Structure 1
Amino acid sequence: MHLTALQNENTPLYAATSIIMEESSNYEKQARKRSKTTLLKQLPIDRLMDLKVDFAFKQLFGNEKNKEIMIVFLNAILQKTGRNPIKDITFLNIEAGGEFVDDKQSRLDLLVTTEDKEQIHVEIQFTNKYDMVKRSIYYWAGVYRSPLRKSMSYKELQTVISINILNFNLFNDTEKFHTTYHLYEDEEKFKLTDVMEFHFIEMTKLIKAWKEGKLDPWNDVLARWLLMLGMIDRRNEQIYEDIFHELEEIAMKDESLKKAFGSWEELSMSPEEYFAYESRLKRIFDEEAAQREAELRLREAEKKAVERGLEEGREEGRKEGRAEGREEGRKEGRKEGKKEGKREGRIEGREKGREEGQFEEKLNTAKRLLEADMDIEFIRNVTGLPAEQIMELR
C-alpha cells in the first residue's frame, strides 16, 4: 500500500524501496531514542534543587542511605592528593558551637570519619560573606583538637581534611577550579605533616572550564560529579541542559551517578524538603540583599560626609581668611588667610564630618539589622562596629 503511494510513472521500484528502507531506519532510531531510559522519571530539570545550597547538599550527600554516593564523591576529590581510596565512612555530629556570642548559625556542613580514622570536613558556601581561608583553618583546628582528652597523647590526633566547595571565585592567582594545600618547608618544599590538608573547589571556574571545552567528564570522575553540582544555578536562573544530557549518557555506565540523580529527584519531589530548601535559599538571598544595602548606605554616608566636610572647611576658611586679612591688610591678609584657612578648614572639616557621618550611619545600620534579627557577627562584619557596642545597642 505504501509502496504504491510512493510510486508514479517516474519513480523506479528500487527508488521506492530505498525510501521505505530509509524511513524504516529513521523510525527504528526514533523508537530506540524514545525507549531509552532517562535519569529523571517524574520531574523536569528545572524543578531540581540547586545542590550548591547547603541544605540540599547535606540532604543528598549527608544521608546515611546515600553513603556510597558520598564515598565515591570524596574519593574523586581526594585522588588528586594520592590518598588511599575510602571504603567506608561514619557520619559525625555536625553541630558546632558558635564562633561568637549569640552566633547560633555556626555549624559544620558535613563531617565524616573514615575506616582509617581520618576526619573529613566538607563545607559548601553559596555566598562569599566570610574570609573563607581563615574560616576553613578555624574549623579545621576545631575538628583536629576536638578528640583530644585528658591523658591522651598528641600522637593520637588524626588527619583532618577540609573540603570547601564555593559558589564564587576565591583565588585570583589561578584559573584552576580545584586547588589543594599542605604545610611545606619554604625552600626545599618537603611536607611538614600529613595531618593537615585543604581543598578549595571554585564552581564558577568549573563552569567556565566546561564552556571552554576543557573538561572531560567521561574520563574524569571528579569533573562529572562537580558538573552535577553546577548543573542548576539558582542565583543566575540558569539550567545547563547540555551538562544534563552529557551526564545522562555517562550515567548509563556509572551506577553511582545514576543513583545520585535518582536520590536528587526524590529529594526535590518531597514537598516538605522543597519548602525547607526554598526557605533556606530565600534566607541566603535576603542576607545578601541586606549586606548589599548596608554597603551602599555606608558608601553614600561616606560620600555625604566628605561633601559636608568640604563645605564646612570652605566656610571656616572664608571666615579665618577674612579675620586674618583685616589684621594684616586686605590684600595680603585675604591671600594668606584664604590659603591657610582653606587648608586647615578642609582637613579639619573633612575628618570631622567623615568620622561623625560614618559613625552615625553605622549605628543606624546596626539598629536596622538588629531589628531584622540579624546575627551579631553578621552585623559586625557589615558595619565594622565592635561586638560589645552592638550588644549595647541591642
Structure 2
Amino acid sequence: MSERALRRIPLEKFMDLKVDYSFKQLFGSEKNKKITVVFLNAILQRTGRQVIKEVAFTSQEVGGEYHSDKQSRLDILVRTQEDELINIEVQLANQYDMVKRTLYYWARVYNLQLEKGKGYHTLLPTITINICNFGLFNQTEKFHNIFHLCEREEKFRMDDVMEIHFIEMNKFIKQWYEKKLKPWDDVLARWLLLLGMVDGRKKKVYNEIYEELEMLAMEDKNLQDAFGVWQDLSRSREEVLAYESRLKYIMDEEARLDDAKYFAEKEGHQKGLEAGRKEGIEKGIEQGIEEGMKKVAKKMMKKGKSNEEIMELTDLTLDEVEALRANNANH
C-alpha cells in the first residue's frame, strides 16, 4: 500500500481522536461497530472464547437520583453478546476528579442492569475504560492499569463485577519514543498510536507516529479501515465544525480552571502574607513585653527584692527569675 492510498488529506487536517466528539464518531457509531469490537478486545486483552464478538450501543444517559442532580452523558456505552456493560470515556483535560468520577459512573451503569422484580444474582460484570491525556498514577510507569475489587493482603477478588481500566496517553507516547513498545506484536499499542498521532490543543501532528501507522496498516486491515473512517470524518465540513467547537469548549474550560487555580493560589498567598505579618507583630509585641519584664526584674533584684515580689509584679515564672539571678551573678 502506498502513502497516497492510506492518506488522502494533509496530516494537519486530521482530528485529534482524544477529543470526545471525534472519538465517539469513530468508535461509537453503529456503522463502525467492527472497529469498536477490535478496539475493545485489544484493551481488555480478550482472546479465545472470551473474545467480544458483538456489541450493541445502548443509552448513554445516566441520570441522578436527586432533583438537584444533572443528567450525565457517557461517551460510549455498549452491551456485549454476554450482556456485559462496557463504558468507554476519553478525557483530554485533567479536572482532577477522574478517579471519583469513574467510580460514580461505574456505579450508575452497574445499577442500570437491575430491573424491577429481578434478583441481585442477575447483575453481570460492568467494565469502565478511561483514556486520559494526562498523568494519573505516580506510583507506576505502566500506561495501562486495571483495577478490581480485591482482598487487601491475599489479593483474591471479592467478585468479578468490577473492572476499571485507566490508559494514560502521555506515558504511552513517552514509552513509544523510548522504543520500549512493540506495536507489531501488540494490538493495543497500534490503536493507541492512532489516538496519539494528533495533539489538537498544541495543533501538532507526530509525523513519526504516522510513518509507523502507515507500515502497520499494511498488515492490519482493521487499522486501515479505522484510518479511512478517520479521514472521512476529518474532511467533512459539518464534522470538523462540531469537532472544533468541542475542542474550543474543552480548552476554554481548561483555561478557566487554570485561572481559578491561579487566583485561588494568589489569594491564598496574600492571606498568608497578611496572617504572617499579623502573627509577626503579635510575636514582636509579646517578645517586647517579655524583655521589658526582664529588665524590671533585674532592677528589682538590685534593690534586693525577693523572688515572690518579682514574680508578682512581672508575671515571670520562678524558673525565669532564678535564671535571671544566676545570669546576673555570673556577670
User: Shorter-normalised TM-score: what interval?
Assistant: 0.7 to 0.9
CA distance in 2, matches of 1:268, 1:100: 40
For 2:144, the equivalent position in structure 1 comes to 178
For 1:55, the equivalent position in structure 2 comes to 21
Equivalent in 11, 28, 32 of residue 66 of structure 1: 32
- 223-232 vs 187-196, which deviates more? 187-196
Quick one: which amino acid aligns to residue 114 of structure 1?
A: T
For 2:82, the equivalent position in structure 1 comes to 116
Instruction: Give, in angstroms, the shift of residue 321 of structure 1.
Output: 7.3
Alignment of 1:1-394 (within 5 A): 37-41=4-8, 43-79=9-45, 84-97=50-63, 104=70, 106-315=72-281, 331-332=295-296
Q: Is the 8 A contact 1:182 1:191 kept in 2?
A: yes
State the Cα deviation string for residues 221-257 of structure 1 (Å, max 9, x = none).
1110011000101233331111111111221221111
CA spacing shift, 1:102–1:82, aligned 2, 3 Å: farther
Q: Is the 8 A contact 1:98 1:107 kept in 2?
A: no
CA distance in 1, matches of 2:247, 2:65: 23
For 1:360, the equivalent position in structure 2 comes to none
CA spacing shift, 1:293–1:103, aligned 2, 3 Å: farther
CA spacing shift, 1:289–1:100, aligned 2, 3 Å: farther
CA distance in 2, matches of 1:227, 1:64: 23
CA distance in 2, matches of 1:188, 1:37: 55
CA distance in 2, matches of 1:175, 1:306: 36
Instruction: Give, in angstroms, the shift of residue 112 of structure 1.
Output: 0.1
For 1:348, the equivalent position in structure 2 comes to none
Q: Is the 8 A contact 2:3 2:214 kept in 1?
A: no
Q: Is the 8 A contact 2:62 2:108 kept in 1?
A: no
Instruction: Give, in angstroms, the shift of residue 153 of structure 1.
Output: 0.9
Paired residue secondary structure (2:233): helix
CA distance in 1, matches of 2:173, 2:52: 27
Instruction: Give, in angstroms, the shift of residue 307 of structure 1.
Output: 2.0
Quick one: which amino acid aligns to residue 72 of structure 1?
A: V
Paired residue secondary structure (1:204): helix
TM-score, structure 1 normalization: 0.69
CA spacing shift, 1:215–1:107, aligned 2, 3 Å: same
CA distance in 1, matches of 2:65, 2:125: 23
Unaligned runs of 5+ in 1: 1-32, 334-339, 341-394
Unaligned runs of 5+ in 2: 298-314, 316-331
Q: Is the 8 A contact 1:125 1:167 kept in 2?
A: yes
Q: Is the 8 A contact 2:62 2:109 kept in 1?
A: no
CA spacing shift, 1:99–1:82, aligned 2, 3 Å: farther
Paired residue secondary structure (1:252): helix
Percent identity for Structure 1 against Structure 2: 52
State the Cα deviation string for residues 336-363 of structure 1 (Å, max 9, x = none).
xxxx9xxxxxxxxxxxxxxxxxxxxxxx
Quick one: which amino acid aligns to residue 86 of structure 1?
A: I
Instruction: Give, in angstroms, the shift of residue 83 of structure 1.
Output: 7.3
CA spacing shift, 1:141–1:308, aligned 2, 3 Å: same
- 259-268 vs 184-193, which deviates more? 184-193
Q: Is the 8 A contact 1:159 1:195 kept in 2?
A: yes
Coordinate RMSD, CA, aligned? 2.7
